[in-house]
Amino acid sequence: MYYIKMNTIQSIEYFHLIYIQLLSRTLDSTNFALKGGCNLRFFMGSIRYSEDMDLDVQVMAVSTLKKNVEKLFRDPILISQLNAKGWEIARFSNPKNTELTQRWKLILRNKKTLVEVNTKIEFSRRNGVDKGLEVTPPGEAVLNQYGLAKFPIPHYDKNRAFAQKMGALIGRREPQERDVFDLDVLLNMGAHLPAGESIKDLEVDRASNIIMEMDFDRYMSKVIAYLTEEHRMYYGTAEVWNTIQERVLAAIKVTAK
């Protein structure tokens, strides 16, 4: 069999695209929404590949979602399309299965080299499906990379994505450099907080402290490692990272006024 060559981060992205295409045929589009890094990558031109896929879900019972999610892991279409690129699902587990969060861990394996890569799919019911929902196909640049036709996915618009990223930046127990990188992507798109929403002064102070204390080495391992070689050359410097931090910090301060 001929395998179309993909690197490990592309194999994860390809799996995410095939999986959510099947999911969108299974679930009502008003009851779930793609968010986080995959949303930015698929719909907003982000150059950062996402290691995991995060979604909001509502209405559906825990047991029903579990059945539907795991059924798709065994779907012949998914298996066939992964095989066509030389990959397969080696195994999966469901380590968290509560009313608020359902999480699956998967290991994808290259059938030729036997290299294995990890990814996660997580559904959250914490806020249900938020405002700012759109149902549109991923960008052509992403789809064309894998030879995929257009298909619609429910996801959040850029302003809701901005609000969610701000919440993640401020609310995480362990700050993530990718949140700052993603906020910069959204700001470059003209994103802002949705109408009627604002950032409190205390949150601005907290965000400022978090951003300025972020570590360049972690930025390299958690952000730059998920870019193409072409983009790593430019973005993988302390100077560019400092510029991104400063841009996001300045925008947050303006947003609070």
| Domain ranges within the chain, ordered by starting residue | 8-156, 160-255
H/E stretch holding 48 reads none
Question: Has residue 138 got a pLDDT over 70?
Answer: yes
Rg (CA), the chain: 18
What is the pLDDT, as a whole number, of residue 200?
Answer: 83
Structural contact between residues 90 and 109, judged by C-beta atoms closer than 8 angstroms: yes
Structure tokens that stand for 177 in this block: 């450099």
Cross-strand partners of 22: none
Model pTM score: 0.94
Q: What is the pLDDT of residues 93-135, one digit of tens each?
A: 999 999 999 999 999 999 999 999 999 999 999 989 999 999 9
Strand order in the sheet with 32-35: 87-97, 101-110, 116-124, 53-57, 32-35, 153-156, 133-136
What is the pLDDT, as a whole number, of residue 2?
Answer: 39
H/E stretch holding 93 reads strand 87-97
Is residue 191 helix, strand or coil? coil
Q: What is the pLDDT of residues 220-229, one digit of tens each?
A: 999 999 999 9
Superfamily of domain 8-156: JHP933, nucleotidyltransferase-like core domain (3.10.450.620)
